């Protein structure tokens, strides 16, 4: 603790022995602390309750008010204030009892002021870390709390409801949906709403790293485990201990890594590359993929046992074209975000024509594409009200082009025609399979087979 921080720290010394109280007070003042001193129970009680002190140092045994009573009072009026208790060797049992009741540490008499200084420093630093952790937790929740989820549409209200129901469960959650639908955002929301929210949230994109680097990233490595391993690395499982680990695009993981991941999930231990010992980890795994995992399992590209391990609860994220009621709200949010990061932005609001084009477009890139489109409008716009001409060319194409079925120039197999037609019909039905089945005159099994490109 630097001299300046000692000066910012006020210590209350409570001891019925005036000589001991004076010795400690004088020593702490010489080190730069601000000090209050109490040699009676009445003074100690008053100062604990009313004085602006950061740390309480109290004798455990005093005639009228003992240290345990002062500890209890301090915890009531200032729960975060560290309390250090002083005791003689014969009262060691009471000192241990004080730890159970919330004391930071105890010191056996006699001790040096330098020793007391060390424990005061540690107590204040730990209090600062706790406050910082709470602040980070609040900031994370403020950004990713479920109340920030745009869910005006029925499809997204169902997603929000499911998120809230599974948040505190320890069961793994698999987010499935097209690219750009916001799977990583929902994983963060789930963590923010969970009992693990005070722990870390760690994310990795399994499709962005080659196999050897992803293995090291996930499980860690020891120094010298491979060429270039000049230092040891704990790995993301260890970093996420006590919190959540988000495996984005887990469907692209190689078979070898799938086997190692399955072992970690089953036994809850991890072994770093090149290490001889395993380490237990307490991690909730969240995963996401835009792949059809059952189809990859059938093709031998993904382990069925790993799929069941990851898919404790599956949350399907609807594409943006199936949640059009959310487009206006999302566009408004993205407008505010883009203006905040573009100091010279002129655009203040989206015009009626701009919003009409946003509502008409099919959004194959989903929420991410909408975000980029609005950011483009903010960057290119020259007037307070946006113009549709600043939207990406695909968005300002004639509306009729957004709802057509594209066949291309080649003759397609009938099952591919069925797949495209079924997907088009599902879009027209707003993503509601029951409506699409009724319009097509087919049952659920046939619709799913058509959508998968199989034969009827």
Q: Is the pTM of this model over 0.85?
A: no
Determine how many CB atoms are found less than 10 A away from the CB of residue 65.
20
- How many whole angstroms separate alpha carbon 268 and alpha carbon 400? 53
Q: Which two tokens stand for residue 454?
A: 């199989």
d(CA 414, CA 422): 12
Give per-residue pLDDT as tens, 372-424.
999 999 999 999 999 999 999 989 876 555 555 666 667 777 877 787 788 77
| pLDDT band for position 137 (cuts 50, 70, 90) | low
Q: Which residues pair with 175 in a beta bridge?
A: 288, 315
| 215 touches 260 (CB < 8 A) | yes
Structure tokens at 296: 């990859």
Structure confidence at residue 189 (pLDDT):
94
Residue 211 has pLDDT above 80, yes or no: yes
Enter the tokens of residue 223: 């120094």
Domain 3-133 falls under CATH 3.60.20.30: no
Return d(Cα 150, Cα 156) in angstroms, integer: 8
**Is the model more confident about 98 or about 405?**
98
Collapsing DSSP to helix, strand or coil, 426 comes out as helix
pLDDT at 284 over 90: yes
- For residue 117, is pLDDT > 80? yes
Task: Give me the pLDDT at residue 406, please.
Answer: 61
Q: Which helix (H) or strand (E) holds 204?
A: strand 201-205
Tokens of 266: 């089953």
CB-based contacts of 395, cutoff 8 Å, min separation 6: 357, 358, 361, 373
Determine which helix (DSSP H) or strand (DSSP E) holds 119, and give its type and residue range.
helix 113-144
Q: What is the pLDDT at residue 456? A: 45
pLDDT, average across residues 336-344: 93
Helix axes 113-144, 18-31, angle to 10 degrees: 60
In 3D space, the residue among 58, 76, 65 whose CA is nearest the CA of residue 42 turns out to be 65
Q: Domain spans of the chain?
A: 3-133, 145-318, 321-397, 414-451
Could you report the per-residue pLDDT of 268-282, keeping only the tens digit for each? Answer: 999 888 888 899 999
Per the CB < 8 A criterion, the answer to whether 202 and 244 are in contact is yes
Helix 444-451 to helix 433-440 angle (10° resolution) is 100
Over residues 293-300, mean pLDDT: 90
Predicted pLDDT of residue 430? 67
Question: Is the pLDDT confidence value at 305 over 70?
Answer: yes
CATH topology of domain 145-318: Rossmann fold (3.40.50)
Residue 95: pLDDT band with limits 50, 70, 90: confident
pLDDT at position 400 is 52
Residue with tokens 């969240």: 286
Pick the CATH number of 321-397 from 3.40.630.30, 1.10.8.60, 2.30.30.280, 3.40.50.2300: 1.10.8.60
**Would you state the structure tokens that stand for residue 134, as one six-digit string?**
């709470």
Which residue in 116, 59, 104, 121 sits closest to 86, CA to CA?
A: 59
Mean pLDDT value of segment 225-240:
83
- Residues in contact with 234: Cβ distance below 8 Å, sequence separation at least 6, in sequence order: 220, 272
Q: Is the pLDDT of residue 192 over 70?
A: yes
Q: Where are the alpha helices (DSSP H) in 32-112?
A: 41-50, 67-77, 92-100
| Percent of the chain scoring above 70 in pLDDT | 92
Tens of pLDDT, residue by residue over 153-164, are 988 999 999 999
Once rounded to an integer, what is the mean pLDDT over residues 302-315? 94
E strand or H helix at 145: none
Q: How far apart are CA 61 and CA 70, in angstroms?
A: 11
pLDDT digits (tens, 9 = 90+) for 345-371: 999 999 999 999 999 898 989 999 999
- Per-residue pLDDT, averaged over 95-122, amounts to 88
| CA dihedral sign of residues 316, 319, 321, 324 | positive
Cβ atoms of 407 and 415 closer than 8 Å: no
Whether the domain at 3-133 and the domain at 145-318 fall into the same CATH topology: yes
> How much is the pLDDT for 230?
73
* Tens-digit pLDDT profile for residues 435-448: 788 888 888 888 87
Q: pLDDT value at position 58?
A: 93
Whole-angstrom Cα distance, residue 449 to residue 444? 9
């Amino acid at each position: 603790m630097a001299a300046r921080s000692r000066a910012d720290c006020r210590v209350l010394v409570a001891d019925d022995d005036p000589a001991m109280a004076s010795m400690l007070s004088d020593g702490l003042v010489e080190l730069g602390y601000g000090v209050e001193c109490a040699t009676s129970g009445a003074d100690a009680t008053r100062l604990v309750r009313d004085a602006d002190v950061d740390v309480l140092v109290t004798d455990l045994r005093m005639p009228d008010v003992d240290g345990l009573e002062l500890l209890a009072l301090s915890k009531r009026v200032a729960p975060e204030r560290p309390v250090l208790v002083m005791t003689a060797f014969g009262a060691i049992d009471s000192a241990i009892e004080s730890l159970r009741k919330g004391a930071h540490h105890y010191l056996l008499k006699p001790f040096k002021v330098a020793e007391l200084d060390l424990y005061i420093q540690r107590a204040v630093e730990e209090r600062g870390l706790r406050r910082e952790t709470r602040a980070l937790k609040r900031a994370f929740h403020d950004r990713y709390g479920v109340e920030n989820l745009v869910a005006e549409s029925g499809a997204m209200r169902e997603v929000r409801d499911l998120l809230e129901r599974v948040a505190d469960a320890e069961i793994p959650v698999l987010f499935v949906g097209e690219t750009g639908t916001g799977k990583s955002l929902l994983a963060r929301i789930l963590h923010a709403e969970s009992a693990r929210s005070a722990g870390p949230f760690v994310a990795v994109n399994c499709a962005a790293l080659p196999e050897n680097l992803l293995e090291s990233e996930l499980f860690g490595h020891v120094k010298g485990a491979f060429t270039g391993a000049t230092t040891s690395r704990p790995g993301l499982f260890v970093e996420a201990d006590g919190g959540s680990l988000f495996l984005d695009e887990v469907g692209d993981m190689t078979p070898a890594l799938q086997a190692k991941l399955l072992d970690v999930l089953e036994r809850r231990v991890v072994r770093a590359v090149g290490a001889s010992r395993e380490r237990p980890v307490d991690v909730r795994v969240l995963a996401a993929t835009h792949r059809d995992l059952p189809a990859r399992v059938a093709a031998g590209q993904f382990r069925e046992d790993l799929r069941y391990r990851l898919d404790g609860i599956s949350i399907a994220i609807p594409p943006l074209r199936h949640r059009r009621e959310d487009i206006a709200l999302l566009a408004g949010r993205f407008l505010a975000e883009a203006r905040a990061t573009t100091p010279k932005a002129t655009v203040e609001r989206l015009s009626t024509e701009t919003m009409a084009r946003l509502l008409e477009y099919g959004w194959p890139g989903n929420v991410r594409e909408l975000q980029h489109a609005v950011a483009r409008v903010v960057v290119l716009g020259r007037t307070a009200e946006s113009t549709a001409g600043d939207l990406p060319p695909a968005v300002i194409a004639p509306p009729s082009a957004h709802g057509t079925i594209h066949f291309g120039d080649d003759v397609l197999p009938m099952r591919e025609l069925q797949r495209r037609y079924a997907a088009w019909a599902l879009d027209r039905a707003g993503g509601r399979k029951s409506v699409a089945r009724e319009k097509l005159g087919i049952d659920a099994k046939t619709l799913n087979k058509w959508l998968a490109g199989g034969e009827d």
